[in-house]
Amino acid sequence: MAIRNIVQEGDPILRGKSRPVEEITPRILTLLDDMRETLAHADGVGLAAPQVGVRRRIVIVVNENDQMIELINPQIIKQSGHQRDLEGCLSVPGRWGYTNRPMHVTVQAMDREGKTFTVSGSGLTARAFCHEIDHLDGILFIDHAEECDIEV
């Protein structure tokens, strides 16, 4: 495992569309392991593959129980409710803004063994699911944010 550099705003990789994972290979498993270590080191709540320079549809989210959830080819299949809160990003350091997100989200994805599963989250976990999945389509939180650049 290795800690990878987190790509910063302005790098074109953050604005591209990520490719689906067609097969779980040793390279994909290494990427997942490196992303876990990078996220833990950065003390964040989520990380998408483009943030470490890889245009693949892979994200990791830390849920409300402090568990890291690996999501390969994630898709939001259900959402409800509403929340508006401050949001930031490891790739956009020092910038914060209010965003509107669903309060509850259910995601379907594959795990590292290629098995499909669903996972649900509320509050910060739902926000993180949305935020990280946005990264896979080249969308940053600042594209949604109101009152951006709030000092925290």
Strand order in the sheet with 46-48: 46-48, 58-62, 68-80, 104-110, 116-122
Has residue 49 been placed in a domain? yes
**Selected catalytic residue, list 23, 64, 87, 132:** 132
Residue 6 has a pLDDT of 98
Has residue 152 been placed in a domain? no
Active site residue 146: no
Residue 79 has a pLDDT of 98
What 3-state DSSP class applies to 86? strand
Q: What is the CATH number of the domain that holds 135?
A: 3.90.45.10
pLDDT at 107 over 70: yes
Q: Is 4 exposed, middle or buried (0-12, 13-18, 19+ CB in 10 A)?
A: buried
Q: Residue 76 is part of which domain span?
A: 12-143
Has residue 104 been placed in a domain? yes
Q: How many domains does the chain have?
A: 1
Has residue 134 been placed in a domain? yes
pLDDT digits (tens, 9 = 90+) for 30-41: 999 999 999 999
Has residue 62 been placed in a domain? yes
Q: Return the amino acid letter for 46.
A: G
Percent of the chain at pLDDT > 70 equals: 97
Has residue 1 been placed in a domain? no
Nearest to 145 by CA among 106, 136, 7, 130: 130
Give the side-chain half-sphere CA count within 13 A for 73: 16
